[in-house]
């Protein structure tokens, strides 16, 4: 007989082993899926996981990995604070959108001024926009006990309507022949978020993501706030005795995640995306939730997980265009990654016992 037995303490080995095992299991089951679709599983898996890094056109894909990973990491770092403390911000996608809107709006209000000072101003506006959008579920939670999961999620849909309205209305480019969409911010020197070194894909969003990783690492391991976050997550009661104000904790966590998501949106709208459009958001805010958990809510883990997720995106596109893999199969692969992680995670807190249990 096989039984699960709770470990007295979470297994340290499994904490690190679980993500790796999840990746391996994803590759295996994904491979079976691809084979069922009539593709050679080995070539699909290598197109996804090998080509972008070491393939013929790696010089092009490596920078793209950074471009794709940066917003994921930035948002996931923000989310990790809340997730550790038991504050569930599911609406980073909305905060990402609003950050892009407020940042872009500030920039466009100053169009066509030619000064590099506009960009930092937009960065601040983007962070504030995301922060404010995150504060709504935060305050509702603190004041009225409203469930932040539901409120933050619902606000994503509000933000999606808002960005469509902005693309069609106030932020619409006057030179766009009546089509929706703002001016291209990446083509206006004052607001552009360009590649900092040619061919590397490093733009300000990548720099910000790396700073966020370092900052989060120090905060969580050295700063009193990081201690309070961890304590609240492990034992809310103990945290209260230790003088942690739960309401303030909620606001801090929603604020941090909102601001970082807003920043991610701003760097996207001024750089790779360039425009506020009706379909501006592409799901970074939701994917970042997977990234945060895949990275064990640890800053360095998130850095690696963000890279891995970006790899599945870029590699997935390669598999699509070279091997004719359907787009949905790639999304399935990404979903499987989180699924297996959660499944394997059982082993962190439980162990398998084979044979009959001794009667105590």
Interface residues with another protein (CB under 8 A) are 57, 59-60, 64, 67, 161, 164-165, 168-169, 177-181, 184, 189, 192, 194-195, 197-199, 268, 271-275, 277-280, 282, 313-314, 317-318, 320-322, 324, 326-328
Q: Least separation, in Å, of the C-beta of 356 and another protein?
A: 52
Burial of 179 (0-12, 13-18, 19+ CB in 10 A): exposed
Q: Least separation, in Å, of the C-beta of 7 and another protein?
A: 42
Q: Least separation, in Å, of the C-beta of 355 and another protein?
A: 50
Report cis status (omega within 30 of 0) of the bond before 132.
no
Q: Least separation, in Å, of the C-beta of 64 and another protein?
A: 6
**For another protein, the closer CB: 22 or 66:** 66
Residue with tokens 């990081």: 226
**For another protein, the closer CB: 200 or 221:** 200
**For another protein, the closer CB: 57 or 241:** 57
**For another protein, the closer CB: 80 or 277:** 277
Upper half-sphere CA count for residue 231 (Cβ side, 13 Å): 17
**For another protein, the closer CB: 166 or 294:** 166
CA distance 112 to 273: 19
**For another protein, the closer CB: 192 or 344:** 192
């Amino acid at each position: 007989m096989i039984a699960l037995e709770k470990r007295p303490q979470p297994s340290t080995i499994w904490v690190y082993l679980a993500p790796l095992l999840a990746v391996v299991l994803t590759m295996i089951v994904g491979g079976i899926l691809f084979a069922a679709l009539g593709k050679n599983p080995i070539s699909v898996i290598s197109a996804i996981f090998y080509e972008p890094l070491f393939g013929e056109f790696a010089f092009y894909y490596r920078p793209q990995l950074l471009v794709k990973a940066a917003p994921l990491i930035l948002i996931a770092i923000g989310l990790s604070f809340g997730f550790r403390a038991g504050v569930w911000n599911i609406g980073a996608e909305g905060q990402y959108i609003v950050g892009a809107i407020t940042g872009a709006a500030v920039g466009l209000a100053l169009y066509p001024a030619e000064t590099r000072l506009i960009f930092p101003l937009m960065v601040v506006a983007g962070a504030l926009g995301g922060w404010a959008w995150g504060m709504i579920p935060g305050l509702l939670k603190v004041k009225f006990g409203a469930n932040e999961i539901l409120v933050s999620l619902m606000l994503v849909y509000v933000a999606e309507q808002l960005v469509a309205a902005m693309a069609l209305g106030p932020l619409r480019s006057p030179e766009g022949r009546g089509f929706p969409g703002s001016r291209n911010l990446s083509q206006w020197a004052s607001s552009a978020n360009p590649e900092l070194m040619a061919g590397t894909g490093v733009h300000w969003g990548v720099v910000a993501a790396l700073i966020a990783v370092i900052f989060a690492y120090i905060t969580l391991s050295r700063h009193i706030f990081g201690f309070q976050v961890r304590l609240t997550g492990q034992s809310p009661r103990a945290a209260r005795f230790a003088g942690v104000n739960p309401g303030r904790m909620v606001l801090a966590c929603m604020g941090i995640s909102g601001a970082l998501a807003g920043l991610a949106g701003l760097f996207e709208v001024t750089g790779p995306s360039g425009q506020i459009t009706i379909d501006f958001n592409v799901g970074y805010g939701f994917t970042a939730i997977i990234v945060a958990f895949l990275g064990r809510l640890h800053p360095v883990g998130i850095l690696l997980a963000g890279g891995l997720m970006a790899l599945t995106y870029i590699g997935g596109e390669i598999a699509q265009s070279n091997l004719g893999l359907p787009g949905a199969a790639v999304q399935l692969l990404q979903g499987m990654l989180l699924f297996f992680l959660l499944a394997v995670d059982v082993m962190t807190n439980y162990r398998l016992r084979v044979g009959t249990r001794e009667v105590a």
